[in-house]
Amino acid sequence: MHHQLDDCIFCQIAQGNAPASKIHEDELTLTMLDIFPATPGHVLIISKAHFDDIFTASPQVLAQIAINSSKIAKALQAVTQADGLGIYQLNKAAAGQTVFHYHMHLIPQFTNQNIGIHSKQAADPQQLEAMAQQLRQALNE
Ligand code: AMP
Ligand code: ZN
């Protein structure tokens, strides 16, 4: 069993105790859609075990997330037809981190749209699920 925290939302998701639009899962990581997407297709890759940030995350987890990011990037490209892809990873409040469980953001970006990392607008759950389904399919192609 991974080391996890009861009051951490990403640990709850990793354990299957909180809902998520999941796209991919392996021994060490889980990939899902952000519920406050900066743009449609905003993806988070999280560790299954709890690590606060890059300062404590294991090299194995960091490597697996990096490896998975290239596959997810290609699936996002195919599904969203975005012009670019921003990859962000925030550590500690001073850097803007809001969920203190290690994760990487992948955010499709479009020419001449200046999109930040955080949105205040929750996504429509049906749209999230439709996007997750397309990404799961693209990953398997
Ligand atoms: P950060 O500021 O880098 O810690 O990013 C945390 C991200 O997690 C934000 O973009 C939130 O919108 C997102 N988030 C928070 N709770 C959930 C959740 N239950 N499911 C999916 N994404 C979440
Ligand atoms: Zn956690």
The rounded Å distance from CA 85 to ligand 1 centre is: 18
Give the model's pLDDT for residue 93: 98
Q: Which pTM was predicted?
A: 0.96
Please determine, looking at this structure, whether the domain spanning 9-111+120-139 carries the CATH number 3.30.428.10: yes
pLDDT band at 2 (very low <50, low <70, confident <90, very high): confident
% the chain with pLDDT above 90: 89
Arithmetic mean of pLDDT over the chain: 96
Give the model's pLDDT for residue 1: 60
The rounded Å distance from CA 34 to ligand 1 centre is: 6
What digits encode the pLDDT tens for the residues 20-72?
A: 999 999 999 999 999 999 999 999 999 999 999 999 999 999 999 999 999 99
**35 CB near ligand 1 (under 6 Å):** yes
Contact, 5 vs 49, CB < 8 A? no
| Distance from C-alpha of 38 to C-alpha of 78, rounded to nearest angstrom | 18
Which residues participate in catalysis according to the annotation?
A: 103
What digits encode the pLDDT tens for the residues 66-123?
A: 999 999 999 999 999 999 999 999 999 999 999 999 999 999 999 988 888 888 899 9
Q: Which ligand is nearest to the CA of 90?
A: 1
The candidate with the shortest Cα–Cα distance to 33, out of 140, 139, 100, 125, is 125
